[in-house]
């Protein structure tokens, strides 16, 4: 299995009151618990079940994911730029692991 | 005609027939039970207080690959403290489970939209349910034809 790796695209600069789009993708198999491997054995369920975004420490967006979300979950959402700051992204795996990523944005 | 038919029916063919009836009954039950799951969830979440309106739900009309179906939505809302969309649910009535995703929005976002990719096991309806801060609910649905299903198995 390839390594689980989060990726994100946040504009480095934004104008005040501009609505920007943030795009994220995490490489993850999202085993729904219904797929079978080469030997016909069931692959146990293992998905990203939660995605959280904080801006300067305050939660701005959240998403609960179910097995119906595709492999390598892609999530895009808007954000209204007001002040400069840092985005903290956090994905939670079924096995309890958390994958994080940070991105800075300058607003002027 | 009738007599002729009666003659051919042996014990074995009756058994086949009964099996056929049983399985077709099972199939219809399957087909009947599935669409209700998503609607049932919508009823549970909204406590039946839901209005069917035209929210912008963008799904392809025909999805060639059910493994990666792009879904996006855009709900017209000022996203101010007095008037914003709190939660958006994405549901599907033909997948093994009706829930697909739940999005939590805040006023910091300035707009109520999102894009993701979902799996669709077969041709089915995709539902979008929005919960407003004043406790109101709105929903919309869209049918997607799926050429190759994408739920494994």
Q: Which residues contact B106 (CB under 8 A, 6 or more apart)?
A: A59, A60, A61, B84
Answer whether residue B62 shows pLDDT above 80: yes
Query: pLDDT class for B151, splitting at 50, 70, 90?
Result: low
Q: How far is A99 from chain B (nearest CA, A)?
A: 19
Answer whether residue B61 shows pLDDT above 80: yes
- Residue A54: what pLDDT? 95
> ipTM value of the model?
0.90
Q: What is the mean pLDDT of residues B65-85?
A: 92
Reported as a single tens digit per residue, the pLDDT across B10-30 is 666 555 655 555 555 555 555
In 3D, which of B119, B43, B130 has the Cα closest to residue A32? B119
Q: What is the CATH number of the domain that holds B97?
A: 2.60.40.2470
Q: Which residues contact A18 (CB under 8 A, 6 or more apart)?
A: A80, A81
The CA distance from B62 to B74, in Å, is 20
CB pairs under 8 A between A and B: 103
- Residue B48: what pLDDT? 77
pLDDT-above-70 percentage for chain B:
74
- Residue A108: what pLDDT? 87
Answer whether residue B153 shows pLDDT above 50: no
Q: Is residue B129 part of a domain?
A: yes
B113–chain A Cβ distance below 8 A for any pair: yes
In contact, A86 and A56? CB cutoff 8 Å: yes
Asked if A35's CB is within 8 angstroms of B152's CB, the reply is: yes
Answer whether residue B5 shows pLDDT above 60: no
> Computed from CA positions of residues A94, A98, A99, A100, in that sequence, does the dihedral angle turn out positive or negative?
positive
Reported as a single tens digit per residue, the pLDDT across B96-139 is 889 999 999 999 999 999 999 999 999 999 999 999 998 899 99
Set of chain B residues whose Cβ sits within 8 Å of the Cβ of A37? none
User: CATH: 1.10.8.60, 2.60.40.10, 3.30.420.10, 3.40.50.2000. Which one for A5-107?
Assistant: 2.60.40.10
Set of chain A residues whose Cβ sits within 8 Å of the Cβ of B37? none
Q: What is the mean pLDDT of residues A2-27?
A: 91
Answer whether residue A51 shows pLDDT above 60: yes
Q: How far is B6 from chain A (nearest CA, A)?
A: 45
User: Mean pLDDT score of chain B, rounded to an integer?
Assistant: 81
A44–chain B Cβ distance below 8 A for any pair: no
- Residue B100: what pLDDT? 94
Angle at B9 between CA B5 and CA B12, to 5 degrees: 160
Q: Is residue B115 part of a domain?
A: yes
Reported as a single tens digit per residue, the pLDDT across A56-80 is 999 999 999 999 999 999 999 999 9
pLDDT-above-70 percentage for chain A:
98
Task: Enumerate the domain spans of chain A.
Answer: 5-107
A47–chain B Cβ distance below 8 A for any pair: no
In contact, A66 and B100? CB cutoff 8 Å: yes
In this predicted structure, which of A29-38, A58-67, B32-41 has the lowest mean pLDDT? B32-41
- Residue B101: what pLDDT? 95
Please count the structural domains in chain B. Answer: 1
Residue of A nearest to B105 (CA): A61
Q: Is residue B107 part of a domain?
A: yes
- Residue A41: what pLDDT? 86
Residues spanned by the domain of B71 = 29-148
């Amino acid at each position: 299995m390839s390594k689980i790796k989060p990726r994100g695209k946040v504009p480095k600069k934004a104008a005040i009151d501009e609505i920007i789009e943030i795009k994220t993708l995490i490489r993850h198999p999202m085993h729904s618990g219904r797929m079978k491997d080469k030997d016909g054995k069931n692959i146990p369920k293992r998905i990203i079940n939660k995605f959280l975004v904080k801006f300067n420490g305050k939660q701005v967006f959240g998403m609960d994911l179910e097995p119906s979300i595709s492999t390598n979950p892609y999530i895009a959402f808007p954000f209204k730029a007001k002040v400069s700051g840092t985005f903290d992204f956090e994905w939670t795996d079924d096995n309890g692991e958390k994958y994080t990523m940070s991105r800075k944005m300058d607003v002027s | 005609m009738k007599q002729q038919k009666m003659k051919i029916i042996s014990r074995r063919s009756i058994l086949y027939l009964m099996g056929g009836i049983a399985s077709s009954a099972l199939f219809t039950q399957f087909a009947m039970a599935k669409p209700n799951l998503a609607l049932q969830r919508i009823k549970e979440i909204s406590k039946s207080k839901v209005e069917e309106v035209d929210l912008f739900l963008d799904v392809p009309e025909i999805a060639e690959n059910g493994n990666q179906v792009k879904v996006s939505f855009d709900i017209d809302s000022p996203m101010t403290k007095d008037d914003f969309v709190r939660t958006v649910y994405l549901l599907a009535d033909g997948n093994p489970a009706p829930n697909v995703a739940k999005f939590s929005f805040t006023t910091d976002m300035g707009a109520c939209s999102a894009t993701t990719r979902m799996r669709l096991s077969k041709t089915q309806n995709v539902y979008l349910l929005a919960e407003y801060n004043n406790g109101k609910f709105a929903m919309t649905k869209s049918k997607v034809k799926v050429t190759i299903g994408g739920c494994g198995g």
